[in-house]
Structure 1
Amino acid sequence: MFDSVLMVCAGNICRSPTAEYLLKNKLSGKNVAVSSAGLTALEGKAADALAQELAKEQGIDMSEHQGRQLTGTLVAQNSLILVMEQRHLTDLCSRYPQARGKTFLLGKWIGDKEIPDPYRQSREAFEHVYELIDSACGAWQQYL
């Protein structure tokens, strides 16, 4: 099985940290490391305030998050990589061919849904994305 999961989006301040913290919460008690990174990360930046607010409403604290750039080392260190969009999958596997075979859409088990970027959008957009991420993490949970 998988002992480490890396969540990847673009900036690593909205979707991938939300997915990281939600999956960590769902896997509490299991020996699976969950982290996140971005293809074009806003390094050192906190998670988006609205993403943090929605998580906090569900009892999840994302205040420790700091954006970080995806690297070859991170790709090598993780047994499963989950991305938000098909273009992330294409870009990641193009940059890091060793990621092929262990990189999938986060939405794979919910009809191969892509998770749209809510950055600089309304609370409703963030809520929709949060629900998609929550469903997708729940679907992956049985495989971890």
Structure 2
Amino acid sequence: MSKQKIILVVCTANVCRSPMAAGLLRHRLEAAGLDGAYEVRSVGTWAVSGAPASSHAEQVMARRGIDISHHRAREVTAADILEANLILVMTEVHREALLAEFPAARGKTYLLSEMVGKRYDIADPYGSSLANYEYCAEEMSSIIEAGFERILSLADRGGQ
């Protein structure tokens, strides 16, 4: 079997959006029987290593049958960027930060929203209500569902 393609999901602290998006994407890959072909990882641009996912993020994912309780935050490294076939970021600020620090991110870094042909930031629900986390999760889930084939295609081609 060929090597797994790595999809890296990036947000700021790696405790809300990226762990939820990674969980949603893993769940979608499993449903398609493709979880063996792709590995989904999540990191943050300003993460406190070892921090758990926020309790609201865990609750929202649990309602969808997705367990992210074992998630621990990690800050992005050069190795993460080099190993990734595709990098999905939540905001333009995340993309700019990665491209400034890691030239290898060029050509394989996209806003999550670009997977459905749009270009907008996914708002950070950190510190807000459970309803805002639900909204964020639903928004990301819709993008992952509608953009699933594009995600796979970009990961298979190394972002190109």
TM-score class, shorter-chain normalisation, is over 0.9
Aligned CA RMSD, in angstroms, stands at: 1.2
- The 5-angstrom pairing of residues 62-81 of structure 1 reads 62-81=68-87
Structure 1 residue identity aligned to 2:138: E
Return the alpha-carbon distance in structure 2 between the equivalents of residues 11 and 140 of structure 1: 24
Contact 1:13 1:42 in 2 (8 A): no
- TM-score (norm. length: structure 2): 0.86
Deviations 1:31-83 (A, max 9, x none): 11101000000210111100110100010011110000100000001100000
Asked whether the 8 Å contact 1:84–1:106 carries over to 2, the reply is yes
**CA–CA separation in structure 2 for the residues paired with 1:27 and 1:38:** 22
CA–CA distance in 2 between the matches of 1:131 and 1:18? 10
Separation in 1 of the partners of 2:20 and 2:12?
A: 13
Q: Give the Cα–Cα distance (whole angstroms) in 1 for the partners of residues 20 and 90 of structure 2.
A: 11
Moved over 4 A (4+): none
User: Normalization by structure 1: what TM-score?
Assistant: 0.95
Taking the aligned partners of 1:113 and 1:49, their CA distance within structure 2 comes to 26
Identical counterparts, % of pairs: 36
Partner amino acid, structure 1, of 2:119: D
- From 128, 131, 137, give the equivalent of 2:138: 131
Instruction: Report the count of equivalent residues.
Output: 143
Mind listing any 5+ residue stretches in structure 2 that lack a counterpart? Answer: 153-160
Is 2:115–2:144's contact at 8 Å kept on the other side of the alignment?
Answer: no
Which has the greater radius of gyration?
A: 2
Q: Quick one: which of 32, 50, 63 aligns to 1:57?
A: 63
1:14 matches 2:20: no
Could you tell me which runs of 5 or more consecutive residues in structure 1 were left unpaired when the two chains were aligned: none
